[in-house]
Copies of this chain bind each other. A is one copy, B any other.
Amino acid sequence: MTDTAKDRSRPETRRGPSMADVAKLAGVSSQTVSRVSNERRNVDEATRERVLAAMRRLGYKPNRAARALRTGRFRSIGVITFTLSTYGNMRTLDAITAAAAEEDLTVTVIRIPDPTTGTVSGAYRRLSEQAVDGVVIIFEAHLLDQADITLPDDQPVVVVDSNAGDAYAVVDTDQELGARQATEHLLGLGHPTVWHIAGPEDSFSAHHRVTAWAETLRARGITSPLAMRGDWSTDSGYRIGRELAARPEVSAVFAANDQMALGALQALHEAGRDVPGEVSVVGFDDMPESKAFWPPLTTVHQDFAEVGRRCIEKLVHAIETKEHETGRALVPTRLIVRESTARYAG
């Protein structure tokens, strides 16, 4: 008469063995199983072995949800981005994932709809309900507002590609250095000025590259030509490249990324303008493909792996100490000289 009051709430999901099952099999309390599971040292070696054997036998796996509920930590971070289609974003995600794995952190990708298009109703919910301990945002932070999204203010945040250094911790490639290296390289080759194919307006890295390019020219007393706006795509580079090719005075072009540089290269070829004989071209990113462009592209190398590492480092620090750190951390770039640039033959 005692075995009636059972089978209450029982979601039909078949669950795996729990600590209690392991404990019973090993003849210990479930707390001891917990200790073994968390690799605490205060467990007798013989007992530990017995528990481990029981775990293996039952195929026990800790339940992350229960663990997270108890500890308040998910051991997971979110990476928020608009798109994975640009080389830079993809490599950044790749690097963050690698660095996160080192810290035994899981990475959740959260793609939010582009704020410039369509509705974003569900996005806020998705973003703030995530089971993550912190987030890395890969785009200009002020777009968050446009996207009608608010970050939970209690959540650690690191931003890449943003000028939000006073509000958030920012890690980024030293865009300014890279743009200067590119521009000075061309100037050093004797070119009277340098034209620029810029990235989209809402990208901070694009903005910074334009600015540094113009600044470098001005420092030499050169009035900078109008920057031409692309959108990072090869197509936009091609479109702008055609305009550039039509102007005989253009002898040096700095494109804000390799993909647009490639498009420009194509336009120049089609127009019969020799690269680097007549026109020199420099890119930015150093994609693995760039060295096989025709001609092999001189470009600015970004250390994405380092950016990823720094992001995780800062984020982990913020999560552990709960300090709301701000400021920018810059990762230096390196100019890779290949064959798309040559001395001005004016």
Query: Measuring CB to CB, which residues of chain A are less than 8 angstroms from any residue of chain B?
Result: 11, 13-16, 59, 61-66, 68-74, 76, 83-85, 90, 93-94, 97-98, 101, 104, 106-111, 122, 126, 128-131, 152, 154, 233-235, 237-238, 259, 262-263, 265-266, 269, 288-289, 291-294, 296
Contact = CB atoms under 8 A, between A and B. Distances in A.
Contact of A292 (B106, B234, B288): B234
Contact of A234 (B101, B262, B288): B288
Closest 9 CB pairs of A and B: A13-B72, A65-B68, A64-B131, A65-B69, A266-B292, A84-B94, A294-B294, A234-B292, A262-B292
B289 A71 contact: no
A108 B107 CA distance: 6
Given A76-B108, A101-B111, A106-B108, A66 B64 contact: no
A65 B62 contact: no
Copies of this polypeptide in the complex: 2
A13 B292 contact: no
A296 to B, nearest CB: 7
B292 A61 contact: no
A291 B289 CA distance: 14
A78 to B, nearest CB: 9
B74 A65 contact: yes
Contacts of A154: 14, 16
Given A84-B93, A107-B108, A61 B131 contact: no
